[in-house]
Structure 1
Amino acid sequence: MKINHLTSAEENLMKLFWKLNSFYLKDVMEHHTEPKPHQNTVSTYLKILVEKGYLKTEKEGRIFKYSVLVPFEDYRNFLMKEIANNFFDGSGKEILEFLFRENLVAKDDFKEYLGEDIEIKPPKIKEPKLEIAEEILNPKKDKKAKDKKKKKKKD
Structure 2
Amino acid sequence: MKNLGKLSETEMEIMEVIWKSAAPVTVAQLLNIFDNKDWKTSTVSTILKRLIEKGFLAKSMHGKVNFYEPTLTWSEYKKYENQTFLRRLYNGKIKNFIATLVEDDDLSQDDIEELKEWFHRKDGER
Task: Please classify the TM superposition score into its range, dividing by the shorter chain length.
Answer: 0.7 to 0.9
Output the TM-score relative to the length of structure 2: 0.75
Query: Closer, same or farther in 2 for the Cα pair 1:33/1:16, shift >3 Å?
Result: farther
Shift of residue 41 of structure 1?
0.8
Q: Which runs of at least 4 in structure 1 moved beyond 6 Å after TM superposition? A: none
State the match for 2:16 in structure 1.
Answer: 15
Work out which of the residue numbers 96, 121, 125 in structure 2 matches 1:94.
96
Mind listing any 5+ residue stretches in structure 2 that lack a counterpart?
122-126
CA gap 1:33/1:97 in 2 versus in 1, 3 angstroms: farther
Give the number of the structure whose residues are more often helix, by fraction: 2
Matches within 5 A, 1:114-133: 114-115=120-121
Distance change >3 Å, CA 5–CA 52, structure 1 → 2: closer
Q: Which amino acid aligns with 2:7?
A: T
Q: Confirm whether residue 103 of structure 1 aligns to residue 107 of structure 2.
A: yes
Name structure 1 gaps, 5 residues minimum.
116-155
1:67, distance to aligned residue in structure 2 (A):
1.2
Structure of larger gyration radius: 1
Q: Match of 1:6, as an amino acid? A: K
Q: 2:60 is aligned with what amino acid?
A: E
TM-score under structure 1 normalisation? 0.63
Q: Per-residue deviation at 1:33?
A: 6.5
The percentage of counterpart residues that share the same residue type is: 21
Structure 2 residue aligned with 1:6: 6
> How many Å separate the matches in 2 of 1:43 and 1:56?
13
Give the alignment of 1:126-141 within 5 angstroms. Answer: none
Q: Which residue among 34, 37, 51 is the counterpart of 1:32?
A: 34
Question: Partners in 2 of 1:99 and 1:90 — Cα distance?
Answer: 15
- What are the superposed Cα offsets for residues 69-124 of structure 1, whole Å, 9 maximum, x if unpaired? 11111211111111111111222212112344323881214413315xxxxxxxxx
- For 1:110 and 1:25, the matched residues in 2 are separated by 47
Q: How far apart in 2 are the matches of 1:39 and 1:90?
A: 41
**Inter-partner Cα distance in structure 2 for 1:83 and 1:39:** 34
- The one-character-per-residue Cα deviations of 1:117-140 (angstroms, maximum 9, x if unpaired) are xxxxxxxxxxxxxxxxxxxxxxxx
CA-atom RMSD in angstroms:
2.3
Shift of the 65–94 alpha-carbon distance from structure 1 to 2, 3 Å rule, reads: same
